[in-house]
Structure 1
């Protein structure tokens, strides 16, 4: 094998840097979701699944000599190709809120639908697009609830309050998620620990009740 003997988040993002790819470009190059690449930035010790390791092997084997030289130049160097930010959709339908359950083992709870925000994109557009792509739910942004550096992932997150328009929940991204469902807002903290919920989200739920 031309690539490393063992892939983890650290070596995967080093390959991304060697190829001079953004998170979106590297994800497209590997044919994986941008969130997968983002997780490697969040957790350098995360070991990808065997299928993804094969994709990384192929990406390294087909890299140019110059790109491979950059990859092997410094085995300890890990850099982020771009600063990562994400748009999170807080979608309300009456007394219910929309959640997704990520497939990654490090995810201990459900989450709000989310997507990576590229420099030329708006958080509002990303929130609506990714919610539809992940869950089959069409929604409309009512306003921003605020933003923060997420205490667990370290990603800059923008929270968008969204109103349900149409659709039934379905897991349209089974590669990334296990399940999608409406959850009563009164039970939200049973699905996401209270200390991980952005406080303005809880305030918005109370106002909508």
Structure 2
């Protein structure tokens, strides 16, 4: 796969294929951490020519396994209609040193995830993130920062991520049909519940 022009989206796909944090990817390219963070918040942004060359070099030197992952991660973004129909808002809710997780019931397994909900046409993603958190867990929270968006590498759904702060309420499972449990988990233990390679890199940066 040849990259003609790098964008924030394809640069983030390369970062994810390399399984690097923002700091690691910035050092790998010899650019600032803020530059990498800006690609997550502005996926359509086109980096400057010298940065394009740095990305070209990183891509050309990457092993075959990374190239395969990159190809899968950088598939075309869904159309605007598809994106709206399948847009999800995720709330990364913190309370001191803890982060809120829900344990989803899947087809064949239970998986720990952040609270999330589908964004219907006309709704604001940050409002959905807050409302779904309360509906699922009883926790009231307030959005403090938008962490960015991506097309989820496994589901193909467009996902908006928000960092939120706990305001009040104890965590309880209010949606037993969808979830088997909810819990406050120490930030340092997050990757024991969700594999690091599955976590959107800006989340790890925000929780560090």
Q: Same fold (TM over 0.5)?
A: yes
Match of 1:90 in 2: 92
Query: Are 1:182 and 2:184 matched, yes or no?
Result: yes
Distance 1:202 1:188 in 2: 9
> How big is the shift at 1:105?
3.2
Distance 1:169 1:105 in 2: 24
TM-score, normalised by the number of residues in structure 1: 0.58
Query: Equivalent residues in 2 for 1:82-121 (5 A)?
Result: 83-107=85-109, 109-121=111-123
> How big is the shift at 1:141?
0.3
1:170 to 169, 172, 188: 172
1:182 to 1:102, Cα distance in 2 relative to 1, 3 A = same
Distance 1:95 1:177 in 2: 23
> How big is the shift at 1:106?
4.3
Distance 1:199 1:126 in 2: 22
1:192 to 166, 180, 194: 194
Distance 1:164 1:122 in 2: 20
Deviation by residue 1:25-44 (Cα, 9 ceiling, x = unmatched): xxxxxxxxxxxxxxxxxxxx
Match of 1:124 in 2: 126
1:146 to 1:110, Cα distance in 2 relative to 1, 3 A = same
Deviation by residue 1:87-119 (Cα, 9 ceiling, x = unmatched): 000000010000000012345530000000011
TM-score, normalised by the number of residues in structure 2: 0.59
Contact in 2 for aligned 1:98/1:112 (Cα 8 Å): yes
Aligned residues: 127
5+ residue gaps, structure 2? 1-81
1:179 to 1:152, Cα distance in 2 relative to 1, 3 A = same
Q: Which runs of 4+ in 1 moved over 6 A?
A: none
1:149 to 1:106, Cα distance in 2 relative to 1, 3 A = farther
Match of 2:152 in 1: 150
Query: Equivalent residues in 2 for 1:55-70 (5 A)?
Result: none
